[in-house]
Amino acid sequence: AVRNRGIEAARGEFIAFIDADDWVEPDYCLRMYEKAKADQADLVICEYAAEFADTGKTAVSTIASAYAGRPKQLYLKDLFEGRVSGFSWNKLYKRTMIEHHQLRFPLRDELEHVEDQYFSLRSHVFAGAVSYVDQPLYHYRIHLTSIVQSYQKKLFDSGLVLYRLNEAFLRENGCLQEYRQELDFFIVQHGTV
């Protein structure tokens, strides 16, 4: 709901979402903006550093090296298959794309624990161009005792709802056949995790 309010209040050319317990490099917005302008991208994704508060260890993503210069369909297929996460926070979105397609996050009582993937998939499908920044500009703090890392009672049911919503979305946008196998893989994997 807070992110949706932010979308409605936004007046800038781009929108970014930063979770309250995470942090970004001082030039995060500038670097993402410059990349979007240089590539005329509707969506920019940067690397992120996953920082484990309990151990002090850090792991850096490899999104840019895996997807830069490759068709966006590869990222989408890997999103379904769980090879890449659907976080909304390491991305910069062109506001006109969000507004034109009326993209919003589902509310907690509608879809819980997978709302980022819902939004990420749709923004990726609608983005004309997707670019990548090969630097970990976003720092994702992981607390192993947090709600996200613990057992989530409604996660299985939310995954089933997300599957149905994604199937309908892909059908409506004429790309269900292109992603049918990966979508089915998603539900099998979700049901066995």
Q: What pLDDT, in 10s, does the model give residues 18-59?
A: 999 999 999 999 999 999 999 999 999 999 999 998 888 999
Q: How many domains does the chain have?
A: 1
**Domain of residue 160, CATH code:** 3.90.550.10
Indicate whether 193 pLDDT > 60.
no
pLDDT at res. 112: 74
In sign, the C-alpha dihedral spanning 26, 9, 168, 41 is negative
Residue 102 lies in a domain: yes
Structural domain includes residue 15: yes
Range of the domain at 86: 2-144+151-185
Q: Indicate whether 149 pLDDT > 50.
A: no
Tell whether 44 is covered by a domain.
yes
**Residues 57, 159: Cα–Cα separation, whole Å:** 30
Q: What is the mean pLDDT of the chain?
A: 91
In a domain, 83, yes or no: yes
